[in-house]
């Protein structure tokens, strides 16, 4: 291998380029969805010596409805799960997709009011082995 083909900083240069483009993407998404209360919860970037890079952008929305709206606009399917703890009931939505060549994750949450939680719990089937009354 000749010295002309060796690029000692290729991985760093790929990472720097990806970081710049990921930053532009994050700023664009936040500017397009000002009312969604978005924040960047993670940004991960890897550069490789073959001058390629991979990056991930994790976004958290103000609430579940805002996450749904952002996900739809980005072409990301949001999976929603309802969780019941002894203290609260909440829905958490999470989706992952590709935007401008980068992996983008979006999430949001809705905490049920006491009334919503009571109504949701009343609609759930009784737990096996529990009191049927």
112, pLDDT greater than 50: yes
Would the pLDDT of 40 be above 80?
yes
What pLDDT sits at residue 51? 86
Instruction: Give the domain ranges of the chain.
Output: 10-123
Cα 52 from Cα 98, distance rounded (Å)? 17
Q: For the segment 48-105, what is each residue's pLDDT rounded down to a tens digit?
A: 988 899 999 999 999 999 999 999 999 999 999 999 998 899 999 999 999 999 999 9
Residue 131 has pLDDT above 60, yes or no: no
pTM tops 0.75, yes or no: yes
């Amino acid at each position: 291998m000749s010295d002309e083909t060796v690029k000692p900083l290729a991985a760093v240069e790929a990472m720097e380029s990806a970081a710049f483009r990921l930053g532009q993407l994050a700023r664009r998404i936040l500017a397009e969805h000002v009312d969604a209360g978005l924040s960047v919860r993670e940004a991960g970037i890897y550069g490789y010596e073959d001058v390629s890079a991979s990056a991930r952008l994790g976004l958290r929305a103000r609430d579940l409805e805002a996450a749904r709206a952002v996900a739809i606009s980005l072409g990301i399917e949001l999976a929603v799960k309802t969780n019941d703890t002894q203290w609260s009931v909440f829905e958490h939505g999470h989706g992952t997709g590709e935007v401008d060549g980068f992996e983008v994750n979006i999430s949001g949450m809705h905490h049920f009011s006491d009334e919503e939680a009571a109504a949701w719990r009343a609609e759930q089937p009784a737990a096996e082995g529990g009191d049927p009354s």
